[in-house]
Structure 1
Amino acid sequence: MNIDKTTGSSFIQSYQKQMQAAPAAKGKPVQKEDQLEISSQAKEMYGKNTKADAARQEKINLLKAQIESGEYVNNAEKVADKVFQFWFGK
């Protein structure tokens, strides 16, 4: 049985050469700025959503006025039916 005793000096020397070359190559890192681009489809969707929000806000204001004046009538059966449909999909 022959065992070869190799010294680790060759490995250490190659590592030291890499470490010496690395700082010189780094220099000053180049930093890129973040960019945000919004597609035309997203802009179109946002425009449609704004129109829907205005209609929804009008409905909310009407409901608030009815609640404050006491004219709003809550139908418990209708609410229960909607909750059931939401959770059970029937």
Structure 2
Amino acid sequence: MKINPTNKAYLNPYQKQIQNQQLKQASKQSDKVEISTQAKAMQESNSIQKARQEHVQSLKQQVENGEYNVDLNKTAEKLLQFYRG
């Protein structure tokens, strides 16, 4: 004998679990980052970037003119330090 339920609403046995998860996600606080006024001022000043660009431009000019000389001993020392750790 087959019994068919009548007038029963669709029943999801996991509905309560889903609702609990949604509540937990909604109640979680997200991380916030606040940048201080001092840090903002440092970003706006760009003095370091300007100095770096000037240095790079001077190096490019030296390379183009053939005036840039590489200290081979210093380069070798730095390579050894890097690979030895």
TM-score normalised according to structure 2 size: 0.50
The structure that is helix-richer by fraction is 1
Structure ranking higher on relative contact order (CA contacts 8 Å, 6+ apart): 2
Higher-Rg structure is 1
TM-score normalised according to structure 1 size: 0.48
